[in-house]
């Protein structure tokens, strides 16, 4: 087998290693470190299983496809929806953990949106209020604000 680089994928051809797809996560002159990222059928798995293979034993492996590239469309959509749910949940938790800055940022957005009806501020000032409040909410919700 030719030399492997980080992020290459291989699969064992003999029984010395568990079946599956492995991603190269480390290389040195005498060995390659592999992380098992796919099962024997080529589906993505999260095992945390790491194997170190000497360069001489690399003949027991053949190139393989990235298991992330063959996920069914439905699974990809479901994963994205789940990730979106958790992102919104954490964002909301961060806002709730910092009620005072969240209220100030929210009031800035509200003043910018409803400002035409309640103030005589020019349009650019109202836009600036919306922008400042939105950036404030994003900063607070990102979790970067320290207590």
pLDDT tens for 93-133 read 999 999 999 999 999 999 999 988 877 889 999 999 999 99
Confidence (pLDDT) at 113: 92
Q: What's the whole-model pTM score?
A: 0.53
Q: How far is CA 100 from CA 82, 122, 130, 136, in A?
A: 29, 27, 18, 12
Confidence (pLDDT) at 147: 62
Q: How far is CA 69 from CA 42, 73, 75, 87, in A?
A: 10, 11, 12, 23
Per-residue pLDDT, averaged over 22-40, amounts to: 89
Confidence (pLDDT) at 70: 62
pLDDT in tens, 53-91: 888 888 889 998 888 776 677 877 888 899 999 999 999
Per-residue pLDDT, averaged over 15-27, amounts to: 88
Confidence (pLDDT) at 97: 94
Confidence (pLDDT) at 2: 59
Confidence (pLDDT) at 127: 94
Confidence (pLDDT) at 101: 96
């Amino acid at each position: 087998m030719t030399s492997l680089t980080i992020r290459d994928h291989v699969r064992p051809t003999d029984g010395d290693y568990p079946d599956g797809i492995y991603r190269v996560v480390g290389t040195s002159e005498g060995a390659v470190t592999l992380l098992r990222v796919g099962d024997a059928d080529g589906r993505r798995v999260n095992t945390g299983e790491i194997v170190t293979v000497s360069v001489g034993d690399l003949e027991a492996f053949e190139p393989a496809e990235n298991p992330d590239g063959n996920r069914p469309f439905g699974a990809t959509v479901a994963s994205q929806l789940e990730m979106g749910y958790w992102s919104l949940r954490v964002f909301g938790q961060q806002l709730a953990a910092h009620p005072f800055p969240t209220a100030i940022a929210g009031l800035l957005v509200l003043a910018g949106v409803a400002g035409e009806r309640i103030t005589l501020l020019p349009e650019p000032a109202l836009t600036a209020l919306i922008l400042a409040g939105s950036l404030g909410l994003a900063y607070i919700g990102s979790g970067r604000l320290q207590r």
